[in-house]
Amino acid sequence: MIIQNPQVLLPQSELDPRVISKLERYARVCYKSEGQMTEQGDPDFLKRIIKSGHESIIEHEKITLMFIIDRGISHEIVRHRAGAAYSQESTRYCNYSKDKFSNEISVIDPYFFRDDPQAYKLWMDSCQTAESSYMNLLKAGRSPQEARSVLPNSLKTEIVVSYNMREWRHFLRLRCDKAAHPQMRQVGIPILLLFREKIPVLFADVEYDSNFSAEHYAPIIMTDDNFIPLK
């Protein structure tokens, strides 16, 4: 059994700074004020529109990334439906007994158990039992889609997520809040902080749980358009 930490893969091209000028141009159609556009752009124009609640304007642009998380957290992510698209690793078709999976399952480390050896051992024993049962079911002739019945919520999954900018704001407001699941905040907050840095006009006003320890933040790995990490 492989134990790994969550991470986020983000194509560098998804953070194109030109998105702000494009959104400004789209928005100005509403007021027929495109003649007021300048080469430098007017970020305050978009800020005023967002503050007024006219967020449909920013639905024209989107960001796509890949989460590597546990399946429990992925179930929360796919609850977001408006302006969303998903492609997820399928436990129906992936057979974790095969060589390309190293003949074992992968699970996401629950950081909140690390300081409690007894809890961590209980979690690990449970996952190993699930792995053993899964492999035995496959050996007994059951299909992956049947054997998956015993796989744990901690199972690692890869899910490609595309949200338009309005949905990213909605997602991050909910999933970075102190009421969100800790493993959701673990991936959500570093995304928000990066978006606030790169596209502040759209995300600087989105609040988050600032008391969540940065030591638990999942790394964001910049990639090419095929999710291959940049050198």
- Per-position DSSP letters for 77-124, written without gaps between them: HTT--TTEEEEE--TTT--TTSGGGTTS-EEE--GGGTT-HHHHHHHH
**CATH code of the domain made up of 1-19+61-231:** 3.30.1360.170
The pLDDT-based confidence of 131 (bands split at 50, 70, 90) is: very high
Note the pTM of the prediction, 2 decimals. 0.95
**pLDDT over 90 at 139, yes or no:** yes
* Per-residue pLDDT at 93: 96
pLDDT tens digits for 56-103?
999 999 999 999 999 999 999 999 999 999 999 999 999 999 999 999
Could you read off the pLDDT of 148-157 as tens digits, one per residue?
999 999 999 9
Q: Which two tokens stand for residue 130?
A: 């699930």
Structure confidence by residue, pLDDT tens digits, 172-202: 999 999 999 999 999 999 999 999 999 999 9
Measured distance CA(196)–CA(206) in Å, rounded: 8
pLDDT for position 231:
87
Q: How confident is the model at residue 41 (pLDDT cuts 50, 70, 90)?
A: confident
Considering only CA atoms, which of 129, 87, 85, 86 is closest in space to residue 107?
A: 129
SS3 label, residue 27: helix
Pick the catalytic residue from 28, 175, 185, 196.
Answer: 175
Look at residue 36 and tell me whether its pLDDT is greater than 90. Answer: no
pLDDT at 43 over 90: no
pLDDT at 221: 98
Task: Give percent above pLDDT 90 in the chain.
Answer: 90
Q: Tokens 């809040």 map to which residue?
A: 177
**Extents of the domains making up the chain:** 1-19+61-231
Q: Among residues 116, 63, 49, 79, which one has the least CA distance to residue 225?
A: 63
Task: Give backbone dihedrals phi and psi of 28, rounded to 5 degrees, phi first.
Answer: -70, -15
Q: Is 148 a catalytic residue?
A: no
> Are the C-beta atoms of residues 70 and 155 closer than 8 Å to each other?
yes
- pLDDT value of residue 26: 94
